[in-house]
Amino acid sequence: MRVVTNAEQENAGRYAMKGFAIGTAQWAGVGLFVSGLLYSFMPWYRKTQTVNKFYIVMCFGLGGGAYKSDRYMVNYERRGRAQTLDEETKKRYELIYGDAFEAQKALEKSA
């Protein structure tokens, strides 16, 4: 497990909430569309109370928000891992090739 700072936790939380808002908007739109289709073609849905119709659309929105929030969090973690890996690779490169590479650059400049 990686030790993270409070600032990193806040950034990850904000990014996940952004994903939740986007997913909620997308899937609530899908829920409204499905609700409209059901209202047009299914007589039993027309008889359903408005509160229950709202609940169905809300379930679409919350489910989509949870899914998109999870996707955003996974992508945030992957970006963090890739950045950490790049930094560690640069450090190792400098340890192995740093002095020889700098010396060769200095020779090329002086020549």
CA 31 to chain centre: 22
DSSP 48: S
Domain boundaries, the chain: 6-79
Reading the block at residue 1, the tokens are 């497990």
Condensed to tens digits (0 to 9), the pLDDT of residues 21-58 reads 999 999 999 999 999 999 999 999 999 999 999 999 99
Q: Is residue 67 packed enough to be buried (19+ CB in 10 Å), middle (13-18) or exposed (0-12)?
A: middle
Q: Is residue 68 packed enough to be buried (19+ CB in 10 Å), middle (13-18) or exposed (0-12)?
A: buried
- Using an 8 Å Cβ cutoff, are 54 and 106 in contact? no
Condensed to tens digits (0 to 9), the pLDDT of residues 56-105 reads 999 999 999 999 999 999 999 888 888 888 888 888 877 787 766 666 77
pLDDT at 111: 64
Select the highest-mean-pLDDT range: 8-12, 14-18, 80-84, 100-104: 14-18
